[in-house]
Structure 1
Amino acid sequence: MNISTKQKQFLKGLAHSLKPIVQLGNNGLTEGVIAEIDLALSHHELIKVKVPTDERDLKKSIIDAIVRETQAFQVQIIGHTVILYRPSEEQKIQLPKK
């Protein structure tokens, strides 16, 4: 999925007021968490996920796994929070033209 810089900025603006929908717990990234993220993306298209780990490499690998498993687009990482976007079939969010 290719998103232009203009579209990325638009999504960041929309995500600003959102609260994290999914938060990883002590068990880390489980199949249940992936399923919950997938369901949230199908319903909302744009979500925040909280990845509470201080280890950079671990956080990066968790986020990469989430993006790979859900086929979502990583919009931005802010601290422990990642913003993900995946258009649904109804396309609730209308992206600006590239």
Structure 2
Amino acid sequence: MVVSNDNKKHFRQIGHGLKPVVMIAGNGLSEAVLAEVHRALEDHELIKVKLSVIDRAIRKEFIEEICTSCNAELIQEIGKVALIYRASQKPNIKTSNIR
């Protein structure tokens, strides 16, 4: 999935007001965490994920793994927070952050 620069800019504006939906700590990425990210992306399409991991390289690996396993796109990464987007298969106007 490729998101245009204009859409990325729009998503960053929307993401500014969002709170993290999923938080990842020292236990890393488990199947349950990936399932929660998948569910959150299906419901909201645009989510923030907070990674409470000190090592920057490990954070990058976690973000890459989330994006590849959930077929999502990284919109922005600032510090320990990543803004991730994936278009929903059945978008719901009530729960979507971009509609």
State if a TM-score over 0.5 links the two structures: yes
Structure 2 matches for 1:1-98, cutoff 5 A? 1-91=1-91, 92=96, 93=98
**How many residues are treated as equivalent by the alignment?**
94
Q: Deviations over 1:3-54 (max 9, x none)?
A: 1111100000011100000001221111100000000000000000001112
- What TM-score do the two structures reach when normalised by structure 1? 0.90
| CA–CA separation in structure 1 for the residues paired with 2:26 and 2:3 | 33
- What TM-score do the two structures reach when normalised by structure 2? 0.89
**Root mean square deviation of aligned Cα:** 1.2
| CA–CA separation in structure 2 for the residues paired with 1:89 and 1:65 | 21
Between the aligned residues of both structures, percent identity stands at: 38
**Gap runs ≥5 in structure 2:** none
**Gap runs ≥5 in structure 1:** none
8 Å contact kept, 2:26–2:53: no
